[in-house]
């Protein structure tokens, strides 16, 4: 399995974990995964200047570790994303008092 496929599976895991652990059913996110795959979904979310509804929901539940931004910053997937994309992800998380360089 390639790195992009691993990332796609990890993106699907975000959905499952959020639904199971905090009861958040991210239907729009699930639709995006079905249409664009995990990598394509991450690309689109990172390109947006707006904070997505799902990010806000996860922040309100204290689970920014389940965001696309946190996954993008996972060292395993570093080569899939540009420095600009990783910087954008890091900035969003830090703006919400989440240190992406710690374990949570």
Q: What is the pLDDT of residues 23-67, one digit of tens each?
A: 999 999 999 999 999 999 999 999 998 889 999 999 999 999 999
Instruction: Yes or no: say if 31 and 44 are a contact pair by the CB < 8 Å rule.
Output: no
CA–CA separation, 41 and 19 (whole Å): 18
Calculate mean pLDDT across residues 72-93.
Answer: 96
pLDDT of res. 95: 95
**Cα–Cα distances in angstroms (integers) from residue 38 to residues 8, 34, 96, 98, 101, in the given order:** 4, 8, 23, 23, 22
User: Is pTM, for the whole model, over 0.85?
Assistant: yes
Q: Which stretches of 23-67 are DSSP H helices?
A: 27-47, 53-60
pLDDT of res. 104: 45
% of the chain beyond a pLDDT of 70: 98
């Amino acid at each position: 399995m390639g790195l992009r496929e691993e990332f796609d599976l990890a993106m699907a895991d975000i959905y499952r974990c959020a639904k199971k652990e905090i009861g958040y059913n991210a239907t729009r996110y699930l639709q995006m995964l079905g249409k664009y795959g995990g990598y394509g979904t991450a690309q689109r979310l990172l390109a947006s200047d707006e904070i997505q509804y799902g990010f806000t929901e996860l922040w309100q539940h204290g689970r920014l570790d389940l965001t696309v931004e946190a996954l993008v910053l996972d060292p395993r997937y570093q080569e899939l994303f540009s420095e600009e994309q990783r910087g954008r992800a890091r900035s969003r998380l830090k703006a919400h008092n989440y240190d992406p360089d710690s374990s949570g």
